[in-house]
Amino acid sequence: MTYRIDCVQYANWSEKIFRQMREGGVDAVNATICYHENFRETVQNMAQWNRWFETYPDLIFKGRWASDVKLARDTGRTAIFLSFQNASPIEDDIGLVEILHELGGRFMQLSYNNQSLLATGCYEAEDPGLTRMGKQVIREMNRVGLVVDMSHSADRSTIEAADHSERPITITHANLHSWQPALRNKRDDVVRAVTQNGGMMGFSMYPHHLKGKTDCTLEEFCAMIATAADRFGVEHFGIGSDLCQDHPDSVVEWMRVGRWSKEIDYGEGSAAAPGFPDQPHWFRDNRDFGKIEDGLRQIGFAPDEVAGLMGGNWYRFFDTNFTPAKAA
C-alpha cells in the first residue's frame, strides 16, 4: 500500500483545507501547533484541534501511531499528527516532554531560528552546539518517543543532535543548501549526519527554500530531490511542504518575531516583501500532491522510490520512532 504523508504544514485550518486534503489523497499531515507558545498555550492549541476532530470526524482525526496512517487511508480521512517548531512548550521543565507525548505530540524542534535552552537556531552568528539541558532532553525524547526535529537549528547543533540521539532524528522541512543557499537549507555534512544515523529529511515547497523561490519549476525541485537521493540514499527522504495556507501576513510576523523582539525580523524574506511569499504554481495546496508524484516519475525515480518519497519512508519512520523506547 502506498501513502501520501506531508511532514509539516501550518495552515489557517478550516473545513476547506481539510476537504482539499481529501481531494489530494493526503493520508497524514504533521501539523505545527507551536512556534513560541508556552506549555499552557500549546495545550490550548491542542484543545482547538480536539474541536476540529469532533466537528469534522469524516475528514480528519488525531494521529498517534503509524497504524493511524493506514486507518486514514482505509477510511478516506487524513490523520493529523501534532508537532512543535520550538522547545518553548516544555519551558524549563524536562518532565513536560513525556506529558506532551502523552497528549499527542510527536515531533519537537530543539530551537526555532534563535538560541534556545537546548540548542542553537540557524540565524545565530555563533553555534556552540547542544547545551547540557539539550542533551538530557534528547535522552528523554528518545525514551518517550517524541522525535527530535532540527529543521530550524544551526549546523553544529544539528550534527551533535544526530550523533547524541540514540534514535534517528529528523529535519522535517528544508532543502539542500548547495541547491539554494538559504539559512534554513542544509549543507551536505548536516544531511549526512542525520541520514547516516537512520534519520529522515522532508523537502520543503516554501518559496524561500526553493531555487528561484516562487518561480522554481517542478522539474528543478524534483532534480534536487534526485541529487539528494544519489548522495545520501532515497530511503531517507520524504515531503515536508511547510505549507502555510490562508494566513494573513501578521502570522508570519508572529512566526519570525514571537515575544523575543520589538523589531520586525524578515528572516529569509526581504523588507520589500515581508509577508508570506506566493507558492509556486505547481504546489498551491494539498490538491497538488499528485503533481509532485508525477514530477518524481518524470525525473526518473522508480515506482517504489516514488512511493517511498511520497509517504512510505515517513510511514516506516513513524512506525519505529513514535513509541516509547524498549527497556534494556
Model pLDDT for residues 149-162, shown as the tens digit of each residue: 999 999 999 999 99
Find out whether 108 and 63 touch, Cβ atoms under 8 Å.
no
Residue 55 grid coordinates: 466537528
Q: Which amino acid is at 95?
A: G
Find out whether 184 and 268 touch, Cβ atoms under 8 Å.
yes
pLDDT of residue 19: 98
Distances (CA, A) of 3 to 152, 189, 210, 304: 26, 29, 24, 11
**pLDDT > 50? residue 277:** yes
The pLDDT-based confidence of 254 (bands split at 50, 70, 90) is: confident
**pLDDT > 60? residue 270:** no
The pLDDT-based confidence of 221 (bands split at 50, 70, 90) is: very high
Q: Output 252 or 246, whichever has higher pLDDT.
A: 246
pLDDT of residue 311: 98
pLDDT of residue 122: 95
Residue range 197-219: average pLDDT? 97
HEC secondary structure over the chain: CCCCEEEEECCCCCHHHHHHHHHCCCCEEEEECCCCCCHHHHHHHHHHHHHHHHHCCCCEEECCCCHHHHHHHHHCCEEEEEEECCCHHHCCCCCHHHHHHHCCEEEEECCCCCCCCCCCECCCCCCCCCCHHHHHHHHHHHHHCCEEECCCECHHHHHHHHHHCCCCCEEEEECECCCCCCCCCECHHHHHHHHHCCCEEEECCCHHHCCCHHHCCHHHHHHHHHHHHHHHCHHHEEECCCECCCCCHHHHHHHHHCCCCCCCCCCCCECCECCCCCCCCCCCCHHHHHHHHHHHHHHCCCHHHHHHHHHHHHHHHHHHHCCCCCCC
What burial letters (b/e) apply to 53-74, b meaning 16+ CB within 10 Å? Answer: eeebeebbbebbbbebbbbbbe
Q: Which residue has the cell 547524541?
A: 164
Q: What is the pLDDT of residues 67-83, one digit of tens each?
A: 999 999 999 999 999 99
**pLDDT > 90? residue 132:** yes
Residue range 272-285: average pLDDT? 85
pLDDT of residue 268: 53
Residue range 242-255: average pLDDT? 87
pLDDT of residue 276: 85
- Terminal C-alpha separation, the chain: 33
pLDDT of residue 156: 98
Ordered domains of the chain (ranges, CATH): 5-321 (3.20.20.140)
What is the value of pTM for the model shown?
Answer: 0.95
**pLDDT > 60? residue 195:** yes
- pLDDT > 70: what percent of the chain? 96
Distances (CA, A) of 105 to 109, 174, 294, 301: 11, 21, 32, 33
Q: Within 10 Å of residue 183's Cβ, how many Cβ atoms? A: 15
The pLDDT-based confidence of 263 (bands split at 50, 70, 90) is: confident
The pLDDT-based confidence of 259 (bands split at 50, 70, 90) is: confident
**pLDDT > 70? residue 267:** no
pLDDT of residue 171: 98
**pLDDT > 60? residue 272:** no
- pLDDT > 90: what percent of the chain? 89
Residue range 272-294: average pLDDT? 90
pLDDT of residue 269: 47
Residue range 7-35: average pLDDT? 97
pLDDT of residue 271: 39
